[in-house]
Amino acid sequence: LLLDEHCDEYVYQQGVSLPTTVTDFTLITAVLIFNTALSHHLVASTRHPKYGLGQKLLHKAKLLYELALREDIAQHSTAFKLATVNNIAVVCRKIGDDDSAQLYLDYLVSLRMLVVSVGDCPQLQQMNGFWINVFAGTRATSIAPAA
């Protein structure tokens, strides 16, 4: 698992590569946008993410991830959608947008449940790190302390 060293959250850190034979511009665009968002995200993690350049990079990463999610490839690739939704949730948490982070985490759980029931994502085993974010979000927002 690849964890963000600053906050113990799982970030899907693998850039998406394309075979040289791909000619579908929608696919190419979505992959380029995702990889650019990931680059912004990872560079922001090396800076102080709460201030200055780190904060600007995180906001840009969020916008780019959301744009990649809207591309058609996200409708056809479950793994792409899972990675993108996960990373948006992490970025939202880092920029202090906890409400949006929780919405994306809820969506991530729904996607995971759908994938398990349909069984259409062979890369699912590689993506178990997403649960770290889901459980971290649950701990922070909805579990009451013991009496």
58 exposed, middle or buried (CB, 10 Å; 0-12, 13-18, 19+)? buried
Q: Check residue 74 and give its pLDDT.
A: 57
Question: Is this model's pTM higher than 0.85 or not?
Answer: no
Q: Check residue 66 and give its pLDDT.
A: 94
Q: What does the alpha-carbon distance between residue 79 and residue 29 come to, in Å, rounded to a whole number?
A: 17
Q: What does the alpha-carbon distance between residue 82 and residue 52 come to, in Å, rounded to a whole number?
A: 29
Task: Name the residue with tokens 């995971």.
Answer: 112
pLDDT mean for each 10 residues of the chain (147 residues): 54 85 87 94 82 91 93 70 91 94 90 69 57 55 48
